[in-house]
Amino acid sequence: MTTPGIHFLDARGPDGVRLYAIGDVHGRLDLLEAMHRRIDSELEWKPTRDWRVIHLGDYVDRGPDSKGVIDFLVDARQRDPRHLMLAGNHDVGFLDFLGTPDPEGLFVRYGGVQTAQSYGVSLTTDASWFGKAETLKRGHAALVQAVPRSHVDFLRSLPFSMTFGDFFFCHAGIRPGIALENQNRQDLIWIRDVFHEHSGLYQKIVVHGHTPVPEAEVMANRVNVDTLAWQSGNLTALVVDGADKRILSMTGKRG
């Protein structure tokens, strides 16, 4: 028997639990800290019985302080396990590079140079193929030494999805026609077009990032909160409090 889908307007969070789902950070520690200060302030002046802060992945690459972002998230989770973090494709790409320094991989081609810089490591390459390979090999070895074990353990610990109430949280989206519990990990961190183009309702509202939009995209079946924080200076979150849903934004300098 097919489970009927749910529309965003009808969706509810768990009773007594306020949810904050934060989009792609990409090394913007300044915006992440500002968002957390705002959330802490809300929880103080408008208390709730319980809460969860859900980070939707892509903590590293492109922005200036990937190391600082991971330090911040590791500390937040240690202080209170209600701070939750999901894996994004860039986070997995960082782990992949630490294992194997692929010159054509996601990390090297899409923002990993900035991530390495945040750890005090240069990944600049020479012009010749041999020089490039040797320089990358040295940079990889230096980065492996520079990244704390706690950061590697953190990245390896990240789940690929979670659900609360009528909401399903993941980095990129889901493949239509497949039950939420059977989604492929690659789809959860990489999928785009087939997910975005699907107009039918899902078992739950899918809250995701991964594909940048100028402002939060609220659809009948999904919510996209990736507002290109590293470049736009705008970090966005979805707030769910029972039947109430709203968008929360932190704005800083453009990247």
Q: What is the model's pLDDT at position 247? A: 98
In a domain, 132, yes or no: no
In a domain, 51, yes or no: yes
In a domain, 204, yes or no: yes
Instruction: Give the tens place of pLDDT for each residue, 145-161.
Output: 999 999 999 999 999 99
Beta bridge partners of 248: 237
Please say whether the beta carbons of 52 and 82 come within 8 A: yes
In a domain, 113, yes or no: no
Report the number of distinct structural domains present in the chain. 1
Instruction: Give the tens place of pLDDT for each residue, 188-219.
Output: 999 999 999 999 999 999 999 999 999 999 99
CA distance 43 to 50: 9
In a domain, 119, yes or no: no
Q: Closest Cα partner for 62 from 102, 132, 118, 124? A: 118
In a domain, 135, yes or no: no
In a domain, 209, yes or no: yes
Give 97's pLDDT tier (boundaries 50, 70, 90): very high
CB neighbours of 207 closer than 8 A, spacing ≥ 6?
21, 54, 56, 167, 168, 169, 170, 222, 223, 225, 238
Give 124's pLDDT tier (boundaries 50, 70, 90): confident
Give 129's pLDDT tier (boundaries 50, 70, 90): low
Q: Where are the beta strands (DSSP E) in the chain?
A: 17-22, 50-55, 83-85, 161-164, 167-170, 205-208, 217-218, 222-224, 234-241, 244-251
CATH code of the domain covering residue 71: 3.60.21.10
In a domain, 24, yes or no: yes
Q: What is the model's pLDDT at position 149? A: 98
Instruction: Give the tens place of pLDDT for each residue, 46-74.
Output: 999 999 999 999 999 999 999 999 999 99
Structural domain span for residue 59: 8-100+150-251
